[in-house]
Amino acid sequence: MSLLIKNGTVVNPAKQQHEVADVLVKDGKIAAIGQNLSADGAEVYDATGLIVAPGLIDIHTHLREPGQEAKEDFHSGTQAAAAGGFTRVVTMANTTPVVDNAALVRGLKKQAELTGVVKVEFIGAVSKNLEGKELAELGDMAEAGVVAFSDDGHYVENAAFMRRALEYSSMFDKMVIDHAEDITLTKNGHMHEGFVSYELGVIGRPAVAEDLAVARDILLSEMTGGHIHIAHVSSKNTVDMVRRAKAKGLNVTCEVTSQHLSFTDEYLRDYNPAFKMAPPIRSEDHRQALLEGLKDGTIDAIITDHAPHAFEEKDHEFCCAPNGFSGLETSLAGVITNAYGPDKLSIDQVVYHMSTRPAELMRLDAGVLEVGKPADITVFSDTETWTVDRNQFYTKGKVSPFDGMTVTGKAKLTVVDGEIVMKEGVVLR
């Protein structure tokens, strides 16, 4: 099969390329990039006025399989990814059972290959059953193909245990992804602790809970040389600490969600559980700090933290609803609407943080448009406006804080190994 994407603006940060050009795909690989390309018998897609980018990569998602397939499975989750313009997702280990051994990793990789619409990578647990007491099979899981380790959803409370995890994971050149919240300060909290939470009478989760955890684990990274990656940063102090750590040359990276770039705690005034997440969306000063952290490169990646729940789980009083929502189909629009434009991110920075840099972090053969490389490509509009309708989602999790909002930015074509898996909003597999 051949595909010719014509007349799009190729945004390819890894090659410092930003120009109108054509991209030719043959046999699953990129065959040529240039002007006025042609190919007999190729399917032609006119990308005039659109951005042609290396496939978007989400390095922090929850596909819920195994054990929680009522919320999501590999097929529905990767359909949602394709609809949102993602060609690859990296799924977390907090499933049922927990992904903490190599046998499970191998089985899940096979299942994802059979049923997934886009590529799926796996993260293994740091500790057995996420209990923070005994190291999981880090070496065996690394050999089985996991790209990182994380007890996401749980903070590793024991500092000595985290030290050993960083030391051991570094032997396999893998990062530890840190869900950094000191639970002694967040217990029973439901939103950002601040002016709004005080007005609403809701117990808060203070930003310092993240700050304390991040400070400890940056120091442990400095001590061990291990790669600590701070998940879903939300605090301005965290951004400052990571900035200083990078200036010292420490092995520290981090990520931010599109929702933390899009919303503040002011959106919680009507107690809508769709806005409930961990860490919580915070006040405007924190949101601005996150944006500045992206602009200056302190924050490495933009992620979705796609966390689908059954509708009946989220359809509760605010304080009783679980954290998280489905984000794969709205992440790009959230970024384009709220973090892109004058005095914000350029389109090159958007692509860098959503494709190029995530591929670098996970050491994936992706994140670049280059002849001979796998043809994982996302074509999207940075100007099209549309209204989010959760009932049109491919994910099983029909809850979103973006529901009903008019947003800008939409994926138009998703190509995986040269195959079109989504075209004009319709997933083809």
Percent of the chain surpassing pLDDT 90: 99
Tell me the pLDDT tens digit for each residue of 182-192: 999 999 999 99
Does 179 belong to an annotated binding site? yes
Tell me the pLDDT tens digit for each residue of 198-217: 999 999 999 999 999 999 99
Q: Parallel, antiparallel, or unpaired: how do β-strands 2-12 and 17-26 relate?
A: antiparallel
Written as one string, the DSSP assignment of 97-134 is S-S-SHHHHHHHHHHHHHH-SSEEEEEE-SBGGG-SSS
What mean pLDDT is predicted for residues 43-71? Answer: 98
What mean pLDDT is predicted for residues 255-280? Answer: 97
Say what the pTM is.
0.97
What's the pLDDT at 269? 97
Average pLDDT over the chain, rounded to an integer: 97
Does 316 belong to an annotated binding site? no
pLDDT category at 1 given cuts 50, 70, 90 is confident
Does 309 belong to an annotated binding site? yes
Tell me the pLDDT tens digit for each residue of 345-379: 999 999 999 999 999 999 999 999 999 999 999 99
With a cut of 80, say whether residue 309 has pLDDT above it. Answer: yes
Q: Is 331 exposed, middle or buried (0-12, 13-18, 19+ CB in 10 A)?
A: buried
CATH of region 55-365, choose from 3.40.50.2300, 3.20.20.140, 3.40.630.30, 3.30.930.10: 3.20.20.140
What's the pLDDT at 352? 98
Q: ω before 374 within 30° of 0 (cis)?
A: no
What's the pLDDT at 333? 98
What's the pLDDT at 16? 97
Does 62 belong to an annotated binding site? yes
Told to judge if 305 belongs to the known catalytic residues of this protein, a careful annotator would answer yes
**CATH superfamily for domain 2-51+374-427:** Urease, subunit C, domain 1 (2.30.40.10)
- Kindly report each contact of residues 357-362 with a partner whose C-beta sits within 8 Å and lies 24 or more positions away, as own/partner: 357/300, 357/301, 358/57, 358/58, 358/59, 358/300, 358/301, 358/303, 359/54, 359/57, 361/59, 361/175, 361/229, 361/253, 361/300, 361/301, 362/57, 362/59, 362/90, 362/121, 362/147, 362/148
Domain ranges for the chain: 2-51+374-427, 55-365
Q: Parallel, antiparallel, or unpaired: how do β-strands 252-257 and 29-34 relate?
A: unpaired
With a cut of 80, say whether residue 9 has pLDDT above it. Answer: yes
What's the pLDDT at 234? 98
With a cut of 90, say whether residue 334 has pLDDT above it. Answer: yes
Tell me the pLDDT tens digit for each residue of 125-160: 999 999 999 999 999 999 999 999 999 999 999 999
What's the pLDDT at 140? 98
Does 94 belong to an annotated binding site? yes
Q: Which of 300, 305, 382, 403 is catalytic?
A: 305
What mean pLDDT is predicted for residues 272-284? Answer: 97
Tell me the pLDDT tens digit for each residue of 395-420: 999 999 999 999 999 999 999 999 99
Q: Parallel, antiparallel, or unpaired: how do β-strands 406-416 and 377-387 relate?
A: antiparallel
**Residues in Cβ contact with 202 at an 8 Å cutoff, skipping those fewer than 6 apart:** 190, 191, 268, 318, 319
What mean pLDDT is predicted for residues 291-313? Answer: 97
What's the pLDDT at 57? 99
